[in-house]
Chains A and B, each alone.
Chain A
Amino acid sequence: MKNGRVRSAAVVVTGLALAGGVAACSSSGGGSSPGSGSSSASSSVAQLNSMTDAQLYPEAKKEGKVTWYTSMPENDLPAITKAFEKAYPGVSVSALYLTGQTPVTRVETEARSGAISADVVSGSGDAVLLEQAGLTDTSYRPKDAPKLPAGLTMPPGLASDRIITNVITYNPKAVAAAGLKPPTSFADLAQPQWKGKFSMDPTTADLLNALGPTEGDSTVLSMIKALGSNSPVFVTSHSLAASQVAAGTVLAAASSYGQTAVVNEEKDPSTTNFVNPSPLPVLVSEIGIVKNDPDPAAARLFMDWTISKAGQDVVTSLGLTSVRTDVTNNPKVWDPAKWKPVFEDVSQSTAETNKELQEWQSALNYSGTGG
């Protein structure tokens, strides 16, 4: 018995010794702080910033690869990476699909450890949060950046790689079988007959962000509370929401993307249809270069290509929507003359974003310890 205690004590002591090691380095952060790039790296970055894409290409080829963290639908990534690799042979794209705020948390965690893997980050709100945390390269001015709609300003170093409309998706067959009428507005889903039969994504406050400035935060929050009280099924990605509707696991989705809904509708109109609400909430996906990234030339080349007409042609061919006016978007999803768009505020601070997210989640009764 005594020996057992001694052994247990030995195990605990060893554990604590290891723990002490972690503690010693955890206080120092264990890695580089944001913005701690070396002076030689800075001069190199300055040189890269002044290069044309033709000049960047040989440098990018030497690096050989670019790592891209994105919330763009995973199925669409191969087409984009293949097109880039065809345009710039010798530079391969390693694309990692991440949802919600995980692109940001990933890059931040990597930065803390001083082991940055990501070169380019894109997603709705992701690059902006990183820019505010000092983790993007703000010195770069991407070439041929698309012009943003009036009133929208992009933080330095960032550009829009696509826009995303938020639509109401429903399953016509399942809705009819349940004896319901197709929803035409968010308010419809707050009606008692829809209780527990529709989904919402609690992980992003995009509706509040986009609709708040024009409709008023309190009005939008009241609507969200009404939806939250109607027992929505929580779904942790807008793309998943549209597929749940098509599969009939829910009858409708209040948070789903037009780009996904239209693809599902084309595949099977009996299980997917969608409504563009008025005004139409629109999210802006930003793209930016990670500070102190391992492949700075390839990152610049990739970012430039993605937002160029050539890149955006590939984006729109996948059913995604571009902010560029010289490409062809799907008219069922994007027609500003028909559905008045209201854009999310891309200049919002991290504190404001988090406050909005808390209000959103609170309105939806989305739980969490919140510690």
Chain B
Amino acid sequence: MSRLDDELRKAFRREQPSVDFTTRLLERAAQQPAPKAPWWHRLATLLDPPKLRWVAIGVTASLLLAIGAAQYSRLHKVVINDDGKVSLAPPPQTDGDKNLVSPDQNVDRREVMSPKPTLHKRVVYPSPNHRVALARQQQERELRVEGEAAKEKLMLALSIASAALNDAQKAVHDDGLKP
């Protein structure tokens, strides 16, 4: 290091401002408007506690709702038989239920693990509108069956009444012919 370097360091050593520098500065800073936080900082404050707690609660509630809706639609799937009847499918067997099958029941385990697909039923997962239409159709079919049964009963009642009336008419006719 040369003497010039040393002399330059001496010449350019730090100096202090006047004693009231800080006081004046703080007075001016106090008069300044509060700095406005940028939008990303304001967004980040959402994650500060206790707001973080509310966000966590909201996320958990949304997840629970979504899981509940999925479970509900899975349990309420509709089965349409070949004869057109609509019925609710039983809930699917869980792995725990399968494990309940003991080997001494002579059940072919391969069948349990991979059941053959049923040919007589088809399983569909209808939309809510479709489900309402299917329910309405089933109701109409049931009403038609009930109507037919009522018609048959009515026809039977009419035939009985007709027979009774014929008998009565015949009896009256026979009585008129007697001297």
Partners in one complex: no
- Give B contacts to A, CB under 8 Å: none
Chain A interface (Cβ < 8 Å from any Cβ of B): none
